[in-house]
Amino acid sequence: MAQTPTVKLNDGYDIPQLGYGVFKVPPAETERAVSEALEVGYRHIDTAAIYGNEEGVGAAIAASGLGRDELFITTKLWNDRHDGDEPRAAIAESLEKLRLDRVDLYLVHWPTPARDNYVHAWEKLVELREAGLARSIGVSNHLVPHLEKIVAATGVVPAVNQIELHPAYQQREITDWAAANGVKIESWGPLGQGKYDLFGAEPVAAAAAAHGKTPAQAVLRWHLQKGFIVFPKSVRRERLQENLDVFDFELTDTEVAAIDAMDQPGGAGRVSSHPDEVN
């Protein structure tokens, strides 16, 4: 199986472009699922404090026999830990559960604009990076006004912004800002979370058929060719393998453009919460 390519972040570190996300993986299943992901070749694991499964990720890492420098581990700061020195306490708890002395990437999970404390949270993440508890820092679900505000306040540009992104909902205002400011985009819900008939859409089905791949593989390939970092979720070994088997073909420019054209106007393709409404 082909080696997963890496993407260079704006702080000089490399991140594997395809990883394994454990959102909604039940805690009781997480150790097995992550162990299988590592066995089939994943080296990038994305979790979060709120997922409740950091212990399972840590157990799988410990049992894997892999060196720390072979792995890229991300976790996230939850919404009720932004104030005071809570971010430092929160990352300490996450590190204990993960059995690590640092994470490769720590993210502010949501901006929680109604609380208006995301600038403080970002300032604290800068301190955590300087303290060596997180090698890289970034944000998740931040809109352009949030991004502009944290950069203006600190002068520190996030390494990544992890956002809902799939063919029906491409968030081009954010991706354009990110491209102009050296921020890498991570796509969560890259397959639309099964909430619309993505795989039956003609551009996706046609691309899959043309390359002898599944519709899911065609969509993941689209993300990769757009330069996005992506981590599909599955708890089935065969699907884990399938999602990783996307490096031996390339969509044509025409196929990419056809999937680009699936974007729904006015954000109508969103399948999850709006960042201004999560507090």
pLDDT single digits (tens) 218-254:
999 999 999 999 988 888 899 999 999 999 999 999 9
| Domain layout of the chain by residue ranges | 6-277
pLDDT single digits (tens) 88-101:
999 999 999 999 99
Catalytic residues: 51
pLDDT for position 32: 95
pLDDT for position 2: 57
d(CA 224, CA 18): 8
Indicate whether 201 pLDDT > 70. yes
What are the helix (H) ranges across 99-236? 118-130, 144-154, 172-181, 202-211, 215-225
The CATH number of 6-277 is 3.20.20.100
